[in-house]
Structure 1
């Protein structure tokens, strides 16, 4: 892993540790996204172009997916996926949702309660969900009963059963990275 990536992960981890209260979380995630976008622009690093899935990833359509063993907060998961040329998974259709559900069962056949971070957030404006860091509106959803539910829960977690939950961004979960192929 490049020293700059490790430094970024340490910086992001330190940022996450600084969270003070649940009510401040929304502003902190907004600030994180703003700072992260600025830092990405300053790095002058092109996103790698992939024509095939890297080892350990599973292909579906024009993307590759991996479920990590790491358990981290949503902001750290976002940076982690980007460090390897991808982003937190975007689930944009029922067909893709079915693939992710089946994929999770191959990773861990007993998964029903475990949470996985995916790329959705409404940290900028409550109730306006978008895929980060692309700022692409979420048009397909698969919310679990009663979700989304709380003002201070701004990051999308996926239950092992495939339903979505708006979770506290600083909670630590496994996560799913997606790399888009250039095919």
Structure 2
């Protein structure tokens, strides 16, 4: 069946009807859920991730993901962070660069570390993020107030500040629910 990969749920008169014909009483908004990630992507919870062997600067990686209707990966939980670090450790041989770009940056305003995808301030304590140059927490000292965030290969893929113009691999993320 061509819709085997996709379950489309829609609301009608207070009921949700699945493509299998089951009716469920609900006032929820329509939901679109994918059962499978596209080829080359890896699933974790409600997102699919693709790890690109190409090496781009942070702005180039961001534009690349956006052109495909994805976004650079935004770290939203310690569980997701550990999943990505663990997965990267298993595939590292195919990726020669120093790390993988995330959506984290302070490029727009010095010292204002945000996820470019959501505009949310980055909680570095949540990810135990350290700067590879000083070992201190990112954004704490004057020399750590700019850059972009990568999962650094030399630090077992912990999050680290890197100059945005350096080339890294990158991770595009696609959320499966809307």
Within-5 A mapping of 1:1-183: 51=34, 52-108=36-92, 114-139=98-123, 140-144=126-130, 145-148=135-138, 150-151=143-144, 153-160=146-153, 161-182=156-177
The structure whose RCO (Cα within 8 Å, separation 6+) is larger is 1
CA distances 1:20-74 after superposition (whole Å, capped 9, x unpaired): xxxxxxxxxxxxxxxxxxxxxxxxxxxxx77241110000000011110100100
Cα separation, partners in 2 of 1:50 and 1:66, compared to 1, 3 Å: farther
Number of aligned residues: 135
Structure (1 or 2) with the greater helix fraction: 1
RMSD of aligned alpha carbons? 2.5
Greater strand content: 2
The normalised TM-score by structure 2 is 0.66
> Any unmatched runs of 5+ in structure 2?
1-31
92-101 or 56-65, which moves further after superposition? 92-101
Which 4+ residue blocks in structure 1 deviate beyond 4 angstroms?
A: 109-113
